[in-house]
Each structure stands twice: as C-alpha cells, then as structure tokens.
C-alpha cells in the first residue's frame, strides 16, 4: 500500500515516531516541532498499514476545536471520511461512556451535566443547609476544594481531616453536595472524569471490553493532564502497552487547575517498555522568534531541557511597541492588522493574544472602529449567556423535574412574586425530607398551613412547567424549545430590557431555537455509529448535554475570515503568521497573583513561551504606560518577560515622527500641537486629557477625556487650548 503521502512530509525523528511498532511511547518535544502532526500521521498510518479500523482508535485532545481539526487532517490523509473513531476531550469521551453505561455508573438515564454556575449555586444552597455562614465559608472556595479533590480522584471518604476545622467543614460540604448531586442525577465537570474512571475500576468487564476494542490510544498535550486523567489513561491502557502521548513540559500551563507536569516524568516509570522520542526541529517560527522563546524559557529551573532550532533563517526582528495607554495600544494593533490585510493577507492569519479576558473589550472597540471582522475565543460563550441558561433551565425541568439547579434558576425568572421566604421554605422541606425542590414544592402546596398567596405563587410555577410538558409531548426538538420559550414568559421579560442588550437577548433565544433545529447528535465527536450499548438517550437530553459540555470553544460561524482574539491559554496548539501579545506588563503578565510564588511565576513564563511560539513570521509585543482595567488605573512597568529576551532580537516600533519609547503621537495643528496625555481646555466641556487621535490635516480628530466622559472632536473645529 502506498503510504508515501503519509510518511514523506516528515523528518526522520517524526517518521520514527509515526511508524513505531505497537508499544508505548512518550514524544517529548518543544513547540512547533510537529507533535500534533505526528499524532495525526500515526493514526492515518495505523489505519492504512496495520489493519486497524478507526473504530479501534482513541485519540484525546485538549479542546473540541483541536479534536475537530485533527479529524479533518486525518480525513484528508486517508482521503475518506472517518467514522467510528473516538476523538475528543477527556470530558467529552467520559461523558459518552457514562451515557452508554449509566446503570453501571449508578446514574439515572437522563442525568444532567452541571456547569460551573449550576455548581456554585448548589454549593451555596448546601452550605446554607449546613448552617454555614457564607462570609466565613465562601461558596467559591468550597467549589474549588471539591473540584480539586475530584481532580485528585478523591471522594470524601478518602480524605483525612486531621481534625482541622477548614478540612472538616469543606469535607462536610463536599459530602452534602455529592449527596444532592446523586439525588438530582447531576454530574459536574470533574465528576465526569472521576466517575468514568470509577466505572472502569468497578466493572472489569466494561474495562476489558474497551481494552479489547482500542488497539491504540493517543494523547495530545499530555503535559496538561491532571491526576485523574492520567489514572484514567493508565487504567485503560492496562498492560496493553499501546499508549502514545505527546507533550512539552515547557508548555504546561494548567497547574492552577490541577494539571500535573510530573505526569511526564512518571510516564517512563509507569510504562516500563516505553520509548522516548525527541523532536527538536521547529517548522513553525522564524529563527528570531525561536531564539527569543528559547532564551525566555531558559530562565525556568527544572526543565527536561530541549533546544529548538529551525533551518528557515532568522526572519524579522521581534517588534516592541510602547503605547501611552490601552486605547493607544489597541489602535496601534488594529492599524497594523489593517495594513496586513491591505497587503493581501487574510484576517484570520492574524491573532491578538492577551493574559486576561478583560483586555478584550478595548481591542474589540479598535477592531470595530477600523471595521475589521474579529472573533473572540473563550469569551462568554453562547450557552453560558443568562438568557440561554434560563431557557435551558425550563427545558431541563420539563425533561426532569428533579433538576434542582434548573429549579433554582428559573423559579422566579421572570419574576412571579415568589418571595425569598417562600423559596427558603421550599429549600427547608427539601432538606428535611431529603427530596428534590420540585417535590418539596408539591408537598408545600398540598399542605394546608400555607397562606393562599404563597400557595398560588408556587402552584402557578408548578403548573406552568406541567403545561410546558403537556404542550411539547411528541413534538420535535425545535418545536419543543420554541414552545417552552414561548410559554416561559422570557420574551416579554427581555423585551422590557431596553436597548441593544435586550434585543441581543431576544436574538439569542431565537438562535437557541435554530440550534435545536439543526442539532445532530451524529456530529458529536464521539458519536458511535455502531451504537454499541447506546441506550436511546432522548434527543433532548443529548441536546442539553451538548449545551453544557460543548459550550463551544468559540462563538459565531467558524469559517469566516476574522481576526482571532483569545487568551494565551486558549491559543495552545494553534499557530498564526502574525501574532500580537498585548499587555506585556508586570502585574498583568506575569499576573500579579503569581508574583509571590516561584512555581506560579514559572507557569506564567511557560504561558509566555506558549504565546511567543504561536507566531510563525511576525511577532509584536505591546505594552501600555497606563492602563485602565477592571475599573482602576494602573501604571505598570514593562514585563520582565520582555527584558528576558535578548535586546538584539527586539526592535522598538516608532511611529511617524516620534522619538521616545513613550511614543507621543504628535498631531500638527496650525496653531499648536497635541500629544497623547496632553491636557487641553474646551470652551464648553472644560478641561480634559487627550486619549487618542486619528486622521490628519482637516480630517484630524482627537479623543479627549472630559469630566463628563470622553468625546471625539474635530481638531479643526474644536478650538482646543493646550494647558501646561
């Protein structure tokens, strides 16, 4: 069989990895050295030459987007559509397993996935039920405790409390929370993994079945697996010696979320026959970008150590732009991208990466001003919007009355005069009688001691949901969603919310109806066409799980040509010809939370290494002398990460006729000059500070921050006087 198209585009080390005989291996290599390429080519090679069907392969990636991309690449190598192969995230695959074996996993057939928000609510309720003061025992802290225990594979009974109040209290919350989850048939994200792992441990016949089925297991971004994920892999691999993992210790950036960089070291001990293959040639970036990245990461201790090289030549120097403030920074980036597009490049070949989501707003405004289409990854995602969650809350209750999180969410949205006291009574009954909120509410209505007013508000809600159920029996998914929204009263409720926001919410509700209409579970990445063990999970449950799990890595159509905006975390594994790292400032990046702890500072540095190595040809680092973020003004020094890059690799960008690094743009005016930060006086608005400018000559406009807010003014008409 001719597999030259699979093997030819590889170097020797890559080819060795792709054609390894069946065995375990660790492919340890730096950014852009072809790790992901090795995985896809190996899968194609296994199918073409080793007689392994796609059905016998399991590939784990870090995001749904990465899984989809991998699928496309394999299909193009195989020149046929790929069906039956399990490729997805740990969460997605675990979810699939639990659906197929719900009984053995001790879950109800229509179990629901709780997202972070549902989880927080439930923890709050459980803590209150235990009589804990929210101030002393913040729910967020308890959520963090629960999730990190689950990530470590620990149930309350496995945890020693050392007679310590903090541990004892959190264990009590964890225990009560877990009971509430079991009662309501709800599963949080961390639970998906832990439960799937336990499913295998407790059911050897199921484990054997999957061990026999999968001839090869392949894992990308292995450096970011946590304890339970690694345990999950080890159990599945057993002694079959068929696990190939690829990773880069220098790109481990999820330690704060429980990832264990040590898993890389443990791998060779746990899989005795495994081989280590290193790839050192980089095919992504220019020499200057690579040298900068190598130097930067050289400041970390305890690395496994590897140096990247390229034979592509040095390329351009790295550009450093010092802006006056964040608006100037964003404007500069937008202008630079506009020029890039004008030169005949695509928008989506450019990416703006930042440390914190809050930075995106100003960048978006700059994109809008220059009419550059853009797309944000990992911002607030469609299924996370309040209006969507509310609609889904009703839908969930229709499907499952015991869904307490949904009950809490919508019982008084839109407001239906259900007072806090009434709600508290419902919770109390649920607590005492160990039943769901729904049943508690029913019991309260039946109880004659309640005032008529309270009774009415509760029974009004109960019959609304019953009504929805009746009106949607036997209809298709789209009609169901449409009718539930119609009956919920959400539409008039959002119509009252004035302005664009209300309008956007209504549009999103419409979008939810279309999403339901076009929902196809076969598109699910781990959908199994042979249907082994698949119980007929209702399409509705499938859709609700999809909404929680998928929550989309991104919003909007994926094929549009847009500038890509995302956090550095979300950029892992991706590459772009033109990359901006915005906000290279101490306190922002490295983040101030990481400054005290050496371990976390090193993780920030790895994140910077990830950022730098996304760039293929052009890399811009920008920082602002003053930055308004989250409502406060900051004057940050240049990030240490910039100073850790050798000076000779960096060129400072200077604009027009400006000299200093502080880059004062000068605007020539017939009778004077303005610069950014200049104080000016306007006859009507009073004193202000110049924030921004655009255009030249008669077209020149300045943005000035006056006490009543900022305004754009035509320089030639405004008659601004400079002060000082």
33 is in an annotated binding site: yes
570 is a contact residue toward ligand ATP (CB under 6 A): no
**Residue 30 is a binding residue for Mg ion (CB under 5 A):** no
Choosing among ligand ATP, Mg ion, none, which partner's interface includes residue 31 (Cβ < 5 to 8 Å by kind)? Answer: ligand ATP
Residue 613 · residue 285 · CB < 8 Å: yes
30 is in an annotated binding site: yes
Shortest distance in whole angstroms from residue 379 CB to ligand ATP: 22
Q: Which of 14, 36, 40, 422 is catalytic?
A: 36
Detail the DSSP E strand segments found in 533-584: 563-567, 576-581
Q: Closer CB to ligand ATP, residue 35 or residue 65?
A: 35
User: On the CB side of 269, how many CA atoms lie within 13 Å of its CA?
Assistant: 5
| Catalytic option among 14, 35, 99, 542 | 35
- Told to check if 541 binds ligand ATP by CB under 6 A, we report no
Q: Judged by CB under 5 A, does residue 573 bind Mg ion?
A: yes
Site for Mg ion (CB under 5 A): how many residues? Answer: 3
Among 17, 24, 32, 718, binds ligand ATP (CB under 6 A): 32
Coil vs helix vs strand at 591: strand
Smallest CA-to-CA distance from 193 within 297, 323, 90 is with 90
Decide: is 14 part of the binding site for ligand ATP (CB under 6 A).
Answer: yes
Q: Are 301 and 602 in contact (CB under 8 A)?
A: yes
CB 540 within 8 A of CB 399: yes
Q: Which of 31, 123, 509, 607 binds ligand ATP (CB under 6 A)?
A: 31
- Catalytic (active site) residue 251: yes
Residue 138 contacts which entry, ligand ATP, Mg ion, none (Cβ below 5-8 A, type-dependent)? none
CA distances to 60, 572, 715 from 553, rounded to whole Å, are 16, 13, 43
Smallest distance from the beta carbon of 14 to ligand ATP, in angstroms? 6
What is the distance between the alpha carbons of residues 407 and 186, in angstroms, rounded to a whole number? 13
The answer to whether residue 35 forms part of the interface with ligand ATP (CB under 6 A) is yes
Stretch touching ligand ATP by CB under 6 A, among 31-39, 127-135, 287-295, 347-355: 31-39
Our CA angle for 67, 73, 76, nearest 5°, is: 140
At closest approach, how far in Å is the CB of 282 from Mg ion?
12
Sole window of 6-14, 142-150, 335-343, 368-376 interacting with ligand ATP (rule: CB under 6 A): 6-14
**Does the annotation list 556 as a binding residue?**
no
* Nearer of residues 14 and 94 to ligand ATP, judged by Cβ: 14
CA torsion 288→292→294→300, rounded to 10°? 180
Q: Is 36 or 263 the residue whose CB approaches Mg ion more closely?
A: 36
Residue 522 known to bind ligand? no
Q: Could you say which of 14, 149, 251, 310 is catalytic?
A: 251
Stretch touching Mg ion by CB under 5 A, among 29-37, 506-514, 560-568, 701-709: 29-37
**C-beta closer to Mg ion: residue 36 or 286:** 36
Shortest Å, Cβ 629 to ligand ATP: 28
Q: Which partner from the list ligand ATP, Mg ion, none does 101 bind, CB cut-off 5 to 8 Å by kind?
A: none
Task: Please report, in angstroms and rounded to a whole number, the separation of the first and last CA atoms in the chain.
Answer: 80
CA distance 664 to 660: 7
Three-class SS string for 394-414? HHHHHHCCCCHHHHHHHCCCC
Based on CB atoms, which residue is closest to Mg ion, 512 or 566?
566
Provide the 10 A C-beta neighbour count for residue 132. Answer: 18
* Phi-psi map region of 531: left, alpha, beta (phi>0 left; psi -120 to 50 alpha): left
Interacting residues with ligand ATP between 46 and 75 (CB under 6 A): none
Burial of 165 (0-12, 13-18, 19+ CB in 10 A): exposed
Could you give the CA distance from residue 665 to residue 654 in angstroms, rounded to a whole number?
Answer: 10
Taking alpha carbons only, the member of 415, 547, 537, 526 closest to residue 481 is: 547
- 658 appears as a binding residue in the annotation: no
How far is the C-alpha of 281 from the C-alpha of 632, rounded, in Å?
A: 44
Cα distances (angstroms) measured from residue 299 to each of 77, 377, 691: 39, 30, 37
Q: Which does 502 bind (CB under 5 to 8 A by kind): ligand ATP, Mg ion, none?
A: none
Q: Which residue is nearest to Mg ion (CB)?
A: 36
Tell whether 531 is in a known binding site: no
36 binds ligand ATP (CB under 6 A): yes
C-beta closer to ligand ATP: residue 36 or 147: 36
Q: How far is the CB of 611 from ligand ATP (least distance, A)?
A: 11
Of the pair 34, 184, the CB lying nearest ligand ATP is at 34
Please report whether residue 611 would count as binding ligand ATP according to CB under 6 A. Answer: no
| Contact assessment for residue 358 and residue 629, using Cβ atoms and an 8 Å cutoff | yes
> 36 a known binding residue?
yes
Query: Of 32 and 378, which CB lies nearer to Mg ion in the complex structure?
Result: 32
Q: Are 600 and 560 in contact (CB under 8 A)?
A: no
Question: Could you give the 3-state DSSP secondary structure of residue 199?
Answer: helix
Nearest approach, Cβ of residue 37 and Mg ion (Å): 8
Q: Exactly one of 42, 291, 606, 614 is catalytic; name it.
A: 614
Cβ atoms 22, 215 nearer than 8 A:
yes
**In angstroms, what is the minimal distance from the CB of 297 to ligand ATP?**
12
Q: Is 35 annotated as a binding residue?
A: yes
Q: Quick one: which H or E segment has residue 217? A: strand 216-219
> Residue 679, class by beta-carbon neighbours within 10 Å (0-12 exposed, 13-18 middle, 19+ buried)?
middle
Q: Which two tokens stand for residue 477?
A: 């998914």
Closest CB to Mg ion among 35 and 375?
Answer: 35
* Residue from 88, 156, 258, 573 in contact with ligand ATP (CB under 6 A): 573
Q: Which region among 25-33, 237-245, 268-276, 631-639 touches ligand ATP (by CB under 6 A)?
A: 25-33
Does residue 570 touch Mg ion according to CB under 5 A? no
Which one of ligand ATP, Mg ion, none is in contact with 197 (Cβ closer than 5 to 8 A by kind)?
Answer: none
Under the binding rule (CB under 5 A), the answer on residue 488 touching Mg ion is no
Q: Give the three-state DSSP class for 289.
A: helix
DSSP-assigned letters across all residues of 11-28: -HHHHHHHT--SS-EEEE
| 221 given a catalytic annotation | yes
Least distance CB 125 / ligand ATP (angstroms): 41
The smaller minimum CB distance to ligand ATP, of residues 37 and 701, is found at 37
Q: Is 213 a catalytic residue?
A: no
Question: Strands (DSSP E) along 16-148, which ranges?
Answer: 25-29, 57-60, 86-88, 112-113
Which one of the listed residues 191, 221, 408, 425 is annotated catalytic?
Answer: 221
DSSP 470-530: HHTTT--HHHHHHHHHHHHTHHHHHHHS-HHHHHHHHHHHHHHHHHHHT--GGGSTT--TT
Which positions from 248 to 287 touch ligand ATP by CB under 6 A, shown as an x/- string? Answer: x--x-------------------------------xx---
Q: What is the dihedral of CA 241, 243, 249, 251, to 10 degrees?
A: 180
Mutual angle of helices 204-213 and 189-202, in 10-degree steps = 100
For residue 36, state whether it binds Mg ion (rule: CB under 5 A).
yes
Q: Is 518 exposed, middle or buried (0-12, 13-18, 19+ CB in 10 A)?
A: exposed
For ligand ATP, how many residues bind (rule: CB under 6 A)? Answer: 18
From 6, 24, 37, 337, residue interacting with ligand ATP (rule: CB under 6 A):
37
Residues ≥6 apart with Cβ < 8 Å to 349: 340, 576, 577, 578
Which CB atom, from 32 or from 92, has the smaller least distance to ligand ATP? 32
Catalytic residue among 220, 442, 553, 585: 220
* Residues within window 39-78 making contact with Mg ion, judged by CB under 5 A: none
Binding site for ligand ATP (CB under 6 A): 9-11, 14, 29, 31-37, 248, 251, 283-284, 573, 575
Q: Which residues are annotated as a binding site for ATP?
A: 29-36
Q: Which residues are annotated as a binding site?
A: 29-36
Q: What positions carry a catalytic annotation?
A: 35-36, 220-221, 251, 614
Binding site for Mg ion (CB under 5 A): 35-36, 573
């Amino acid at each position: 069989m001719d597999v030259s198209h699979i093997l030819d585009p590889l170097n020797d080390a890559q080819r060795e990895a792709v054609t390894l005989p069946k065995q375990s291996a660790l492919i340890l290599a730096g950014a852009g050295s072809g790790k992901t390429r090795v995985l896809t080519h190996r899968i194609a090679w296994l199918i073409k030459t080793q007689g392994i069907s796609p059905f016998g392969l399991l590939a784990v990636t870090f995001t749904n987007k990465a899984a989809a991309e991998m699928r496309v690449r394999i299909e193009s190598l195989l020149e046929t559509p790929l069906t039956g192969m399990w490729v997805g995230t740990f969460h997605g695959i675990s979810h699939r397993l639990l659906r197929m074996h719900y009984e053995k996993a001790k879950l109800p057939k229509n179990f629901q996935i709780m997202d972070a928000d549902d989880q927080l609510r439930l923890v709050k309720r459980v803590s209150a039920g235990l009589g804990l003061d929210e101030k002393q025992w913040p729910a967020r802290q308890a959520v963090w405790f629960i999730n990190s225990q689950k990530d470590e594979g620990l149930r309350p009974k496995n945890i020693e409390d050392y007679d310590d109040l903090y541990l004892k209290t959190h264990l009590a919350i964890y225990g009560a929370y877990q009971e509430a989850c079991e009662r309501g048939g709800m599963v949080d994200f961390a639970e998906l993994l832990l439960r799937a792992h336990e499913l295998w441990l407790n059911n050897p016949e199921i484990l054997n079945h999957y061990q026999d089925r999968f001839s090869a297991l392949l894992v990308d971004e292995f450096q970011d697996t946590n304890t339970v994920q690694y345990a999950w892999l080890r159990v599945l691999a057993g002694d079959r010696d068929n696990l190939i993992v690829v990773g880069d210790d220098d790109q481990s950036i999820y330690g704060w979320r429980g990832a264990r960089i040590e898993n890389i070291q443990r791998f060779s001990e746990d899989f005795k026959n495994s081989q280590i293959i290193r790839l050192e040639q980089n095919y992504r970036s220019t020499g200057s970008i690579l040298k900068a990245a190598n130097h930067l990461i050289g400041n970390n201790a305890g690395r496994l150590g590897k140096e990247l090289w390229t034979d592509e030549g040095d390329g351009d120097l790295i550009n450093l732009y010092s802006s006056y403030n964040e608006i100037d920074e964003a404007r500069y980036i937008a202008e630079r991208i506009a020029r890039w597009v004008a030169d005949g490049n695509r928008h989506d070949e450019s990416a703006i990466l930042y440390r914190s989501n809050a930075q995106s707003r100003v960048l978006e405004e700059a994109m809008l001003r220059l009419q550059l289409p853009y797309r944000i990854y990992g911002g607030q995602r469609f299924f996370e919007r309040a209006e969507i969650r509310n609609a889904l809350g009703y839908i969930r209750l229709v499907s499952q009355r015991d869904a307490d999180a949904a009950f809490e969410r919508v019982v008084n949205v839109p407001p239906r005069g259900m007072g806090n006291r009434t709600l508290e009574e419902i919770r109390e009954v649920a607590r005492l009688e160990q039943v769901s909120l729904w049943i508690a509410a029913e019991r309260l209505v039946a109880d004659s001691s309640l005032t008529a007013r309270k009774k009415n508000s509760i029974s009004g809600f109960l019959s609304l949901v019953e009504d929805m159920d009746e009106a949607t029996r036997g209809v298709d998914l789209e009609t169901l969603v449409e009718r539930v929204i119609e009956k919920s009263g959400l539409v008039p409720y959002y119509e009252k919310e004035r302005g664009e926001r209300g309008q956007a919410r209504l549009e999103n509700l419409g979008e939810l109806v279309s999403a339901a209409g076009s929902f196809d579970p076969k598109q699910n990445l781990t959908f199994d066409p042979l249907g082994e063990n698949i119980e007929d999970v209702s399409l509705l449950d499938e859709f609700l799980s999809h909404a929680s799990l998928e929550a989309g890595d991104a919003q909007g159509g994926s094929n549009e040509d847009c500038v890509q905006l995302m956090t550095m975390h979300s950029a892992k594994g991706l590459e772009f010809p033109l990359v901006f790292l915005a906000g290279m400032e101490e306190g922002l990046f490295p983040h101030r939370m990481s400054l005290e702890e050496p371990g976390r500072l090193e993780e920030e540095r790895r994140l910077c290494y990830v950022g730098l190595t996304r760039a293929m040809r052009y890399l811009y680092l920008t920082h602002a002398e003053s930055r308004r973020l989250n409502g406060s003004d900051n004057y940050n020094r240049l990030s240490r990460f910039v100073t850790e890059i050798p000076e000779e690799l960096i060129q400072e960008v200077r604009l027009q006729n400006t000299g200093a690094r502080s880059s004062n743009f000068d605007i020539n005016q017939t009778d004077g000059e303005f610069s950014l930060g200049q104080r000016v006086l306007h006859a009507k608005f009073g004193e202000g500070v110049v924030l921004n400018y655009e255009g030249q000559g008669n077209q020149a406009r300045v943005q000035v921050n006056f006490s009543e807010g900022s305004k754009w003014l035509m320089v030639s008409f405004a008659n601004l006087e400079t002060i000082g």
